Chain A
Amino acid sequence: MWIVNFIPDFIFHILLMAGLLGLAGSFVLDSVPFISTNAKAIQLASAVVLAIALFFEGAISDNDAWQARVKALELKVAKAETESAEANGKLSKQLAAKDKEIALAQAELKNRIKQGAAAMDAVCKIPTDVVDILNDAAKKGATK
Chain B
Amino acid sequence: MKSLIAILALSLSACVSVPVERKFPKPPDELMSACAELQTIPAGTTQLSVVVETVVANYGQYQWCQTKTNTWVDWYNKQKDIFESVK
Q: Closest CB-CB distance, A90 to chain B, in whole Å?
A: 9
Q: Closest CB-CB distance, A104 to chain B, in whole Å?
A: 10
- In the bound assembly, the distance between CA atoms of A81 and B71 in angstroms comes to 19
* A 1-26 contacts with B by CB, 8 A: 1-4
Given contacts A1-B16, A110-B53, 18 further A-B contacts (CB under 8 A): A2-B13, A66-B16, A76-B86, A80-B86, A81-B25, A83-B82, A84-B25, A84-B82, A88-B27, A88-B28, A91-B71, A95-B28, A99-B64, A106-B57, A106-B60, A109-B60, A126-B48, A131-B44
21 contacts between A and B (CB under 8 A): A77-B21, A80-B83, A80-B86, A84-B25, A88-B28, A92-B30, A94-B71, A95-B31, A95-B68, A95-B71, A98-B64, A105-B60, A106-B56, A113-B52, A116-B49, A124-B48, A126-B48, A130-B51, A134-B41, A138-B37, A138-B39
